[in-house]
A and B are shown apart, each in its own frame.
Chain A
Amino acid sequence: MSAAPSLAEQFQFGLQAPICLTWELTYACNLSCRHCLSSSGRRDPRELTTAECMAVIDELQRMQVFYVNIGGGEPTVRPDFWALVDYATGHDVGVKFSTNGVKITPEIARRLAGRDYVDVQISLDGATPEVNDAVRGRGSYDVALRAMASLAGAGFAGFKISVVMTRHNVGQLDAFKAIADRFGAQLRITRLRPSGRGADVWDELHLHPGQQRELYDWLVAHGADVLTGDSFFHLSGFGTALPGLGMCGAGRVVCLIDPVGDVYACPFAIHPSFLAGNVRDPGGFAAVWQHSELFSDLRRPQTGGACESCSAYGNCRGGCMAAKFFTGLPLDGPDPECVKGHGEQALAAAAFAPAPRPSPDHSHRTAPHRTGERQPVPLTLSARPPENAARPPVTACDANPLAGFVPGR
């Protein structure tokens, strides 16, 4: 046993099925969080039907995926959400779902408290309404706190409070912990990624280098009580490795099924470059997980590239693939938030090449963000010139080499 390679080394080569599967059930959301990593807002008409979702659950049961992290969008706005939760837990697929709390009434909370296989995660990005609502929208703090009170009141012990770390809330870590303690909940903090709409606010919200150190020290002191989804392993470059696998699990132990059934390497990599297949393809999710070209590539031995010679590489493993991709950095180089400062140099070098845009985008069309990009386009409507009026319009399908040719001119 002792000679066996570490789990992280074993996991590099992939597993029979994911350990940590995120399944976003809908792109619809009542909020428009500025950093939403899936650019959610509007439902996609191609979203999986109830029957298709149940077929995916059957498949997860066969593959022995023991639990899924359900998110969105706001998953609870799907009318079949509670039915799908019941179906999953009835088929040996435990559920942890992320919600902004909008549907967690005292009655729902009582129902949830009675379930062994269901866990709830309430998103909160500020320990005060000011800090939270600036990112998640007006009133969202009160909605989240009300949901927490409902869960605690129903005796749901140990639900999760999930916080995305920003430069405005990293100073509130102790206050977040106090909120969790007040409700008998567990605090979970994760890294801001430049994914989805997060790409638009990354420069404004991601941690300053000094704040990264502050966060690392806090995690070293509180690591045992706080969940992180293993998302801060890039900070392990500061010294002792933080608890967790300490590796990028994309396509190896982690993946994402999006609302239309597309399978991506990880929840932070919603982009055609990381699309492995679709659960509607022949062979379903299992075929995508086991045989897709993209996942096979990710499971080949990786090199550290530019990071290989760095003293911290053994701990940080080059950081987060998605964070590099959406900031325009090479995937085999440093993370944009490299604690050794190599990310800043790399960003300066990459500054002239535009970073890939996250896609698809399901943002509310009326959302306040992106106003810089979505200016009205001035159009002048005019009639067709009279000499062409008698002719059918030329289309791209018109194979006639003389299409549009007007004789006698």
Chain B
Amino acid sequence: MACAASTEPGGQFDLDAPWQLDAQVRVRPEAFGALLYHFGTRQLSFLKSPALLAVVRSLGAQPSARAACTAAGVQAEDLMRYAHALQTLAASRMICQRGTV
């Protein structure tokens, strides 16, 4: 299992942990955001905004998901919505915590 961290759909997303895109996931940018495909689970996900794409892309290079959000220009009042979107991605194994691979 590549992703073993908290992955319940309704669970609390750990914004302060270091996250990354799963190694089996590929990203295709689109006008609305992006398409994500996981070659292991054969699942497709959609990122519904370019800003969320920017966050997801920078996850691996930032010390935490919170830092990735800040770097992508996410405002403090929007942070929980992004955390919720990231939790959905974690639940479908699109992203996982670094160090759990």
Contacts and interface: CB of A to CB of B under 8 A. Distances in A.
A19 B35 contact: yes
Contacts, number: 49
B69 to A, nearest CB: 12
Interface in A43-83: 64, 66-67
Given A1-B78, A1-B81, A19-B35, A94 B42 contact: yes
A147 B34 CA distance: 37
Interface in B36-71: 37, 39-40, 42, 44, 46, 48-49, 51-52
Interface size class for chain B?
A: 20 to 34
Contact of A2 (B35, B40, B81): B81
Interface residues of A, number: 19
B1 interface: no
Given A1-B81, A19-B44, A94-B39, A66 B28 contact: yes
Contacts of A94: 37, 39, 42
B88 to A, nearest CB: 12
A interface majority secondary structure: loop
Contact of B30 (A4, A16, A66): A16
Contacts of B52: 1
A13 B82 CA distance: 26
Nearest to A2: B81
B31 interface: yes
Interface string B75-89: 000100110010000
Contacts of B39: 66, 92, 94, 116-117
Contacts of A399: none
Contact of A1 (B28, B44, B51): B51
A160 to B, nearest CB: 11
Contacts of A17: 28
Contacts of B82: 1
Of the candidates A4, A7, A66, the one having the most CB atoms from chain B within 10 angstroms of its own CB is: A66
A1 B49 contact: yes
Contact of A10 (B28, B31, B40, B81): B31
Contacts of B46: 7
A332 interface: no
A13 B46 CA distance: 16
A119 B43 CA distance: 12
A179 interface: no
The 10 closest A-B pairs by CB, nearest first: A66-B37, A64-B28, A10-B32, A1-B49, A15-B30, A4-B48, A117-B39, A16-B30, A7-B46, A116-B40
Given A1-B85, A7-B48, A66-B28, 9 more contacts: A2-B81, A7-B32, A10-B32, A15-B31, A66-B35, A92-B39, A94-B39, A117-B39, A117-B42
25 contacts: A1-B51, A1-B78, A1-B82, A4-B48, A4-B49, A7-B48, A10-B31, A10-B32, A13-B31, A15-B35, A16-B29, A16-B30, A17-B28, A19-B44, A64-B28, A64-B35, A66-B26, A66-B28, A67-B37, A67-B42, A92-B26, A94-B42, A117-B39, A117-B42, A119-B42
